Amino acid sequence: MNRFDELDALLKNAYAPYSGFRVASVMVTKEGSLFQGVNVESVAYPTTMCAERNAIFHAVSEGAKPGDVAEVHILAKNSEGKYIEAFPCGACRQIIAELSLNEAKIYVYRSNDEISVHSISELLPHAFFSLT
Ligand code: THU
């Protein structure tokens, strides 16, 4: 399902005063519940958190369990206000893999009708899952 309008409205909540790169993410659970996230930056740059992980951490805080993450939708705009196709960073890929049990679909938006869909196992092959 196309979630462009929801993502576009969500972009205004991104806190990105340093990069100017605004990211919105909507995570959909297996049951169809929705959780939103935006990127939140800090003047202590490495403490920044991505939109995708904020959406998933929001879901986990509300009770989501490993395997519940079904879809992660991502829309981004650069500092000039242009939509930019933004794939999840490596850290977000790890979290998506783990909390979807390697089954999530990632929807990367370039515009309201240009969306590429990828499996997390394609974006993070040979994911790290176990300490044993
Ligand atoms: N960012 C995300 O929110 N998600 C990504 O997948 C890539 C990068 C954010 C982090 C930072 O606030 C800004 O984009 C520029 O890197």
Please compute Rg for the chain using Cα positions.
Answer: 14
* Model pLDDT for residues 3-37, shown as the tens digit of each residue: 999 999 999 999 999 999 999 999 999 999 999 99
Dihedral class, residue 68 (left if φ above 0, else alpha if ψ from -120 to 50, else beta): alpha
* CB of 89 shorter than 6 A to ligand 1: yes
* CB of 124 shorter than 6 A to ligand 1: no
Strand partners, 115: 109
Burial class (CB in 10 A: 0-12, 13-18, 19+), 19: middle
How far does residue 20's CA lie from ligand 1's centre (Å)? Answer: 10
Q: What is the mean pLDDT of residues 106-132?
A: 96
> Hey, what domains does the chain have and what are their CATH numbers?
4-123 (3.40.140.10)
Kindly name the residue from 6, 31, 41, 52 that is annotated as catalytic.
52
Nearest CA to ligand 1 atom 9: 50
What is the pTM assigned to this prediction? 0.97
How far does residue 97's CA lie from ligand 1's centre (Å)? Answer: 18
Contacts of 101 (CB under 8 A, 6+ apart): 66, 67
* Model pLDDT for residues 39-93, shown as the tens digit of each residue: 999 999 999 999 999 999 999 999 999 999 999 999 999 999 999 999 999 999 9
